[in-house]
Amino acid sequence: MLQSRSQRRLVKAFKCMVNGCRSKGFTTAGRLQQHTDAVHTIPAAIAPLIGNQPNVLAQGHSHTNGPVHQPSPDAHPMGIDNPPSPQIANGNPLPARDTPTNPNHTHIEYHPQLNGVPLVDLDETETERSPDENPFAPFSNRAEFEFSEFLYAREQMSGGNIDELLRILTGLYPEDDPPASKHDEIYAMIDAIKDGDVAWDSFTIKYNGERPTNRPHPLKVLENQLANPEFKNHIDYTPKRVFRNGKREYKDFMSGDWSWKQADTISRSPPNRGAMFVPGVFGSDKTTVSVATGQNDFYPLYMSPGNLHNTARRAHRNSVALVAFLAIPKTSQEYANDPKFRKFRRQLFHTSLEVILSSLKPHMTTPRKTRCPDGQYRQVIYGIGPYIADYPEQALLACTVQGWCPKCTAKPSNLDDEVGRRILRSHSHTDALLEGFSLQEVWDDYGIAALSPRRFPRADIHELLSPDLLHQIIKGTFKDHLVDWIVEYIKITSPTKREADEILADIDRRIAVVPPFPGLRHFHEGRGFKQWTGDDSKGLMKIYLPAIQGHVPNEIIKTLRELLEFTYLVRRSVITEDDLQMIDIHVSRFHEYREVFRTSGVRKDFALPRQHAIVHYRYMIEQFGAPNGLCSSITESRHISAVKDAYRRTSRNKPLGQMLVINQRMDKLAAARVRLSNNGHLDGPGLPARLLPQMDPTSTDSPATAPTQPGTTSARTRSDVQAIDREMGPVDEPEGMADVKLAKSPGANCHTQSGWNAADTLLVPRRARDVYKIAQSTNQPSFPSLLRRFLYDTFNPDAGIPRHLIPLDLCPDVSQLRLYTFHSARAIYFAPSDLSGIGGMHRERIRSVKSWLGGAPRYDCVFIGKSEEPGFAGYHVARVFLFFSFKYANEKQARQCALIHWFSTVGTEPCPVTGLWVVRPDFRNECPVLDIVDVDCIFRGAHLIGISGRKTIPKEDFTFSDSLDAFSHFYVNKYVDHHAHEIAF
């Protein structure tokens, strides 16, 4: 039969990448592999004759910037042959291997068969828009698109208010046509967007098992996510193993063993070789949107491609998509615990998942051609990946009885049993038990419900249940267990109820007077409130250890410390083999120290499934990589935009259908913005040239750093207020070095009027002031002499005189300097373990202001680099009393500086009980040791908590603003965020 042109093109879809190979291509990846094995692979019989000559064909599929790591003999349990060369990493040829002398190197080993090779010479490519076609269609132009996006996605304005706004615009500009005459026209244009278009379907499940004919579209959702160009540099096209200095590292999901084993299984079929493996990461959790209406519970199901890096999944950016709302069966209280109803609820849940995921099932064994973020097409094998769920839902998913562990066979009465913990559950294990025992026996003896989970290729739900940091550790083991146990211990061991209440009240006061810090929840009345959220538990976890020190025995302090160390280790973005060993040590110590609660009578046993789950974390990290990309906090935060905000925009009458439309429109707008931004259609301000601000071409100041003229207010300054008002958060910038800069504009007066923070005063910039007036207004009389000595030391770095001993008559005169003072500085640094952007960059605001939130002063503490030593030994701690900038003499670039108060470290080791470093403020002749440093010396903010010991906090006239002045010694709080834990050990 004659071949068509497209068929002839497909003959060349798979090409051999070996240099000098004259093959013209192959129709399948399997034939390419056969060619490689026959022509380019060195037979084992003659391999020893080659000696140590470099030969990429004889190595594993790897990419390294250092000496090649030799895989262990069991690295390829299936005995898969060697891959083609040069190796393909993430779909691109890898550079030649070299062996640098630097011993600190990273080696990445990619899977040799399921390597995501891009397809070439395809005739079926995405239809490109012609140059004359409107890229903003169905909108007329950029302004119309941004106007619609602003109203619907950003402001979420109601239809009635949109109509009112359009009426006002028509009245203001009667000669110009408005973008639309009513909100329905704007909605229609949004609905006409082709980007991100995935229709919603509904289906009905009967008790008798009638299967629906319509099929939901998770496959389309995954394909839309994979085609998103924003993820181009944040995705893995093949499973990988990462090594540093010969030791394994676990980071993103595809760096774990599970994806590698899946690739081994998939690549047994020759047609699948060269394909890309895409496992879906799923998560579901019930949420309540209102208690005042009839329908207030929703059950969303979310999905994300497992290939995305953890930072991309945690930053969302359309990486976590809403794919379904699951049914919530309801019954009267009379039948809530009826076995038949519980069985029906399990059947409904599993059958619903089976139907929803049915579109993925055919392509879990047969590749499907899919467009990827780099614009290339690849053959993709889909899979069912980890499932994010809280414990009750994990039991529902795994069909285990409540109280039993869904991952191992340890019995509820003794979850610490070593034998039961070693036997992991699996489908094959469950099937064997169901064949050999009655339903009642497997229920009583093994905790297995009668219903068996639905089966998908290569998917075992017991193995796929992911670690859940939020519910298992933060809200479970810490808040619901340890905090409550500590309160109970104080009540049991105190002589009288009054003394117990006094201790608990003092703990609350200690919590209330903790100094503020970006992102730290402030507990004005301690921990004594009723409704706790996940953020509340996270906030208390950061400060609870110093609060109870002195009121409880050291064993309890150590119990909490071991849990905190475990939590912060497993929450890291990169977990090494050394970290895994430390995780085992902390779990062992935690189990040892927590016995104090058993011996004191607080607990009879520790049969708690959420707390028991921590023993499985090492295995799950080895399987799935760092858990911070699979935490239920990701899905819970998605509730806000996908469920709660959408619900608030509905009429409350049958809201589900309205919520689906709202989510669909939001996805369309987001997808359209990605396409337009990627093609450069949204570059620039989007205004006519006549409306753009004219800049002086001779000016040396950029718009971001030029001081605002006195008495003026600009639009740029107003936007700065909104940006600076945010204390911390992600930064959408590529990975880079740490950077600290002063606020974009100088500050005005030091007091706020309307409840805003100090950044609100940027609206009225102050005039430049001389050194002596600033010294007087800030109550720092030594400021002029410090500045003079700073300048002398700057211009004479080799003088060899301690700064405080430099004679003033040798120092430059500063009486004519014009200084601009600032209320804050912005620190940006790489902190992928915290709330960060897609590149792992994090931002925080460092304050130095005379009145914060219209009240007391706030002068934050900072880390200042000291040496290259690891951990806290490489840093100083200081407190900032003033940020300022100036130009000296004919300098073109303004100097950015800070007036600081030094702190000294107490001892050479952290506190043996709390594990925290201790510092104290420096004084000389009863005067604080102040100094001036360049802002560039500051690394980031530091959080200090005063050490109370056995003393109590005053009940009156003592607030958090007094803490840094009242205490003589402080703990350096490495638990304030995950990055601090990584540098202040």
The 10s digit of each residue's pLDDT in 559-599 is 999 999 999 999 999 999 999 999 999 999 999 999 999 99
Give the residue carrying structure tokens 């107490």.
906
pLDDT at residue 452 tops 80: no
pLDDT band of 608, cuts 50, 70, 90: very high
Residues 618 and 644 in one domain: no
Structure tokens at 57: 């064909």
The verdict on 642 and 620 lying in the same domain is no
Q: Which of 26-40, 598-612, 871-885 has the lowest mean pLDDT?
A: 26-40
Q: Minimum mean pLDDT among 275-284, 357-366, 885-894, 895-904: which range?
A: 885-894
User: How many domains in the chain?
Assistant: 5
> Any idea which residue has 């004659």 for tokens?
2
Q: Is residue 369 located within the same domain as residue 483?
A: no
Contact 545, 955 (CB under 8 A): no
Q: Is 702 left (phi over 0), alpha (psi -120 to 50) or beta?
A: beta
Per-residue model confidence (pLDDT) at position 464: 94
3-state SS class at 98: coil
* Model pLDDT, residue 768: 56
Task: Kindly state the DSSP code that residue 352 receives in the 8-state scheme.
Answer: H
Strand 88-89 and strand 927-928: pairing?
A: unpaired
Residues ≥6 apart with Cβ < 8 Å to 585: none
Specify whether 244 is located in the same domain as 175. Answer: no
Residue 355 lies in a domain: yes
Q: How many degrees, rounded to 5, is the angle at CA 304 between CA 300 and CA 305?
A: 155
Strand pairing partners for 945? 971
Q: Is residue 874 part of a domain?
A: yes
Residue 748 has pLDDT above 80, yes or no: no
Question: Considering Cα of 926, then 932, then 936, then 937, what sign does the dihedral take?
Answer: negative
Q: What are the structure tokens assigned to 292, written together?
A: 């005042």
Ranges of beta strands (E only) in 220-362 are 240-244, 247-250, 276-284, 287-288, 297-298, 300-305, 321-325
Task: Give the range of the structural domain holding residue 907, as residue numbers without chain letter.
Answer: 738-747+765-984
Determine the average pLDDT of the residues in 674-679.
80
With respect to residue 575, please indicate whether it lies within any of the assigned structural domains: yes
How deeply is 306 buried, as exposed, middle or buried, from its count of CB atoms within 10 A (0-12, 13-18, 19+)? buried
**Distance, CA of 240 to CA of 112 (rounded, Å):** 10
Residues 231 and 153 in one domain: no
Number of CB atoms found within 10 A of residue 163's CB: 17
What are 380-427's pLDDT values in tens digits?
999 999 999 999 999 999 999 999 999 999 999 889 888 878 889 998
Q: Are residue 620 and residue 640 in the same domain, yes or no? A: no
* Dihedral angle of Cα 817, 818, 824, 827, to the nearest 10 degrees: -60
Q: Are residues 962 and 925 in the same domain?
A: yes
CB atoms within 10 A of CB 806: 18
Which has the minimum average pLDDT: 261-270, 327-336, 496-505?
327-336
85-99, 145-159, 723-737 — which one is most confidently predicted on average?
145-159
Round to whole Å and give the CA distance between 252 and 306: 9
User: How many residues make up the chain in this entry?
Assistant: 985
Summarize the confidence of residues 662-677 as an average pLDDT. 83
Q: Given phi > 0 = left and psi -120 to 50 = alpha, else beta, which region is 395?
A: alpha
pTM of the shown model: 0.80
- CA angle 861–864–868, rounded 5-degree value: 145
The HSE-up count of residue 908 (CA atoms within 13 Å, CB side) is 0
% of the chain at pLDDT higher than 90: 41
Residues 784 and 828 placed together within one structural domain of the fold: yes
Does residue 536 sit in helix, strand or coil?
helix
Cα–Cα nearest to 461, from 388, 399, 400, 398: 398
| 381 and 518 co-located in one domain | no
Residues paired with residue 820 on neighbouring β-strands, in sequence order = 885
DSSP label of 742: E
User: Which residues have a Cβ under 8 Å from the Cβ of 947 and sit 6 or more positions away?
Assistant: 546, 549, 918, 967, 969, 970, 971
How many beta carbons lie within 10 A of that of residue 651, not counting itself?
A: 7
As a whole number of angstroms, the distance between CA 287 and CA 298 comes to 6
- Residue 743 domain-assigned (yes or no): yes
- Beta strands 377-388 and 276-284, pairing class: parallel
Q: Are residues 154 and 248 in the same domain?
A: no
Q: Which helix (H) or strand (E) holds 715?
A: helix 715-725
Per-residue confidence (pLDDT) for residue 36, from 0 to 100: 58
922 within some domain: yes
Q: Binning pLDDT at 50, 70 and 90, where does residue 529 land?
A: low
Cβ partners under 8 Å of residue 133, min gap 6: none
Integer Cα distance of 580 and 590 in angstroms: 15
> DSSP alpha helices (H): ranges in 513-553?
534-548
- The answer to whether residues 616 and 640 belong to one domain is no
Distances (CA, A) of 119 to 269, 276, 377, 487: 18, 11, 5, 62
In a domain, 827, yes or no: yes
Tokens coding 856: 């007391």
Beta strand pairing call for 820-822 and 875-886: antiparallel
| Residue 889 predicted with pLDDT over 90 | no
Judge whether 411 lies within some domain: no
For residues 937 and 804, state if they share a domain: yes
Q: Which residues of 487-548 form beta strands (DSSP E)?
A: none
Please answer whether residues 161 and 638 qualify as being in contact, where contact means their C-beta atoms are separated by less than 8 angstroms: no
Q: Look over the chain and give the mean of its residue pLDDT values, rounded to a whole number.
A: 80
Q: Quick check: 707 pLDDT over 60?
A: no
Does residue 788 sit within a domain? yes
